[in-house]
Chains A and B, each alone.
Chain A
């Protein structure tokens, strides 16, 4: 399967997803060397187009691009002409006129990456680094990579996540991480469970291939998950009556010390970061030996290198003459 863009985790069939995860293993090897650099994207220009603040994601992409020897330009909305009312279209066309091979876009509007890819404004590869409350496909890939590595270790190559049980907990309604994980985990054969207060589930989740639970304890006991993925509670939800108070949220939906004993001894504790310690996750859980939070960060670079490699290396790019 030849990918031109990565807009949604749904763009990845099982074979392609596993291929990317396998490539990411190779990239992880590069990242543990003294000289962490490959010449793969020499001469290619990649723009990190961030309409929304996200230092972590931007740095992760930037590192990935630089380790593949791409020329990297960071375009942040703040301080740029975007804040003066320049449209997505104008920005995209400007980048196109300057000759870019790929655009990594983070935007507060759901669908922005898809609009950019299909508008005709720009010809390069588009990588969705998070669009509104829609998707964040490289996050799902790095989460899958992290689980696969922890569970299968050196035997990971070529494997999916068949039979792995994952419980995703928190603000499902507004989470692009949850949407992308839902799709990719299913593609890789995992069993997806979700836990949230009813206010933070979509009102019509019928198309979601997941089991939904309101009771976190009950879900942990019944599912006995291989991994628990805690989602960040955004500040703007606090005063919008999605739940009564932070204290109540933390008590009922947080991965706190009282809840930890319900986990299997080998269950992974995951979080896409940044964490609200004491709200959705307690420090005991975040710093637990089974916590993968920092591995997820490290793996993010490897996975993004793999995605860049698949989209940009070889004969597919239009600027090869």
Chain B
């Protein structure tokens, strides 16, 4: 069995330790561990985190391979420090049957850079009319636990209620894309002072907040858990905070871009800043950052949404919604939690690894860095400032290009296999 010894890494709790790996397991965590027969990683000054887990990734395959494939998306994920990604259901064909989710999982396994965990559609064809075969997907080899019509809202309240109830039988969760469809017809950007000036149709925050309010109440009524995708407004934070205080089983995610960027960027009419839900105001950004620190928001999820150049190189109204995120998520998390002085690496490990693994019911991800755990480890150099340029994604709709962000992922170890070593992606996957 291959042996790796990580020497002198700083663990999330601040202690410095060596980490010994054999095969796909961590065998020991301590000081002065033997380097015998092991390839040694000098981790002095690096922070060791449990492998990052993304609950919200668009890998685009099958159907939209011009944007991304499961392989290129997995590589981008590994470069960003991830060891598992949840592949959203809006593929073509849609991931609404056992056959499609098993295929996605198999291609992900063959790629071998991360665990590719398919998300199942809530409704057939994401059409919002009829429940997809949730049980069949749950019982398939893909073992689907997270269901979402992401990109579309499950807006029919009866259908949402039934979905919330139905997935209880196998411990599933509905991840809601909260967007009241009538309030957002033709919507192009956040409805606010900037949209008023730019003459772009507004996407009002109430369209998100009203659905979240409804869904936490539904979850309470039927005793289910609900997950809120890409929460983007200060008002949404208040609703989730209220719901949690009330004991409702709700979890919430925020994207890196909603933690960093604002609707002021739309002034350029550069469609690289067009995303759904839209970039909001600075007040929203401040509220989201505070909510991530205080636990109201449970996780950062990327909503990595690759699009080919032609979908962005056009007038704003004609452009597609979405932006890349896998390779900057850890940096944005460091900015929000560490460099701000507001929190610590333990919290960063929670929001990017432990919590998303728990919400997605992934037993072999998000484990503590301890003997006996699966060897999913991400090593970050927090001292680096890097200007964002290229990425491993097949697409280049990267709104961070040109920005300088803190921290760099140096090594990613996925089930004992180095997918990223010294910042260089492995030429082949694990399997």
Contact = CB atoms under 8 A, between A and B. Distances in A.
A56 interface: no
Interface stretch (A11-19, A67-75, A204-212): A204-212
Interface in B309-348: 310, 313-318
A132 B202 CA distance: 14
Contacts of A176: 199
Contact of A112 (B197, B201, B310, B315): B315
A206 B316 contact: no
Contacts of A203: 191-192, 196, 202, 204
B282 interface: no
A40 interface: no
Interface residues of B, number: 24
A115 B193 contact: no
Q: Which of A88, A115, A176, A205 has the most B CB atoms < 10 Å from its CB?
A: A115
A282 B17 CA distance: 83
A61 to B, nearest CB: 20
B269 interface: yes
Interface string B194-223: 111111111010000000000000000000
B253 to A, nearest CB: 26
A204 B193 contact: yes
Contacts of A110: 188, 198-200, 269, 316-317
A119 B272 CA distance: 13
Interface in B26-76: none
B318 to A, nearest CB: 6
Interface in B164-196: 188, 191-196
Interface string B254-270: 00000000000000111
B192 to A, nearest CB: 5
Q: Which of B193, B195, B198, B310 has the most A CB atoms < 10 Å from its CB?
A: B198
Given A203-B191, A203-B204, A115 B196 contact: no
B315 A202 contact: no
A205 B196 contact: yes
Interface string B263-292: 000001110000000000000000000000
A132 B188 CA distance: 12
Contacts of B317: 108-111, 132
A207 B197 contact: yes
A135 interface: yes
B386 to A, nearest CB: 26
B195 A204 contact: yes
Interface string A57-98: 000000000000000000000000000000111000000000
Nearest to B191: A203
B387 to A, nearest CB: 21
Nearest to A51: B315
Contacts of A206: 193
Contact of A115 (B197, B199, B202, B315): B315
A133 B194 CA distance: 13
A107 interface: yes
Nearest to A208: B196
A251 B325 CA distance: 53
Interface range, A side? 20 to 34
Nearest to A135: B199
Contacts of A112: 315
B199 A133 contact: yes
A271 interface: no
Q: Which of B188, B197, B268, B314 has the most A CB atoms < 10 Å from its CB?
A: B197
Given A112-B315, A132-B317, A202 B269 contact: no
B269 A115 contact: yes
A108 to B, nearest CB: 8
A156 interface: no
A111 B315 contact: yes
Interface string A103-124: 0000111111011001100000
A135 to B, nearest CB: 7
A287 to B, nearest CB: 31
Given A114-B269, A203-B191, A88 B197 contact: no
A193 interface: no
A132 B199 contact: yes
B222 to A, nearest CB: 33
A135 B267 CA distance: 13
A232 interface: no
Given A88-B315, A109-B318, A207 B200 contact: no
Nearest to B313: A89
A118 B269 CA distance: 10
B314 A115 contact: yes
Contacts of A310: none
Contacts of B197: 179, 207-208
A134 interface: yes
Q: Which of A88, A89, A110, A134 has the most B CB atoms < 10 Å from its CB?
A: A110
Contacts of B199: 110-111, 131-135, 174, 176, 179
A234 B130 CA distance: 38
A175 to B, nearest CB: 9
Contacts of A174: 199
B335 to A, nearest CB: 28
Given A114-B269, A115-B269, A207 B315 contact: no
A190 B315 CA distance: 33
Contacts of A207: 193-194, 196-197
Given A87-B310, A111-B269, A114-B269, A204 B315 contact: no
A204 B270 CA distance: 22
Interface string A23-39: 00000000000000000
A134 B269 CA distance: 11
A207 B192 CA distance: 10
Interface of A: 87-89, 107-112, 114-115, 118-119, 131-135, 174, 176, 179, 202-208
27 contacts: A87-B318, A88-B314, A88-B318, A89-B313, A108-B317, A109-B315, A110-B188, A111-B198, A111-B200, A111-B269, A111-B316, A111-B317, A112-B315, A114-B268, A115-B314, A115-B315, A115-B316, A131-B199, A133-B199, A133-B201, A134-B199, A179-B199, A203-B191, A203-B196, A204-B192, A205-B196, A208-B196
Interface of B: 188, 191-202, 204, 268-270, 310, 313-318
Given A115-B314, A119-B313, A203-B202, 17 more contacts: A109-B316, A110-B188, A110-B200, A110-B269, A110-B316, A110-B317, A111-B269, A111-B316, A115-B315, A115-B316, A118-B268, A132-B199, A134-B200, A205-B193, A205-B196, A207-B197, A208-B197
Q: What are the 5 closest A-B residue pairs judged by CB atoms, nearest first? A: A111-B269, A134-B199, A202-B196, A133-B199, A109-B317
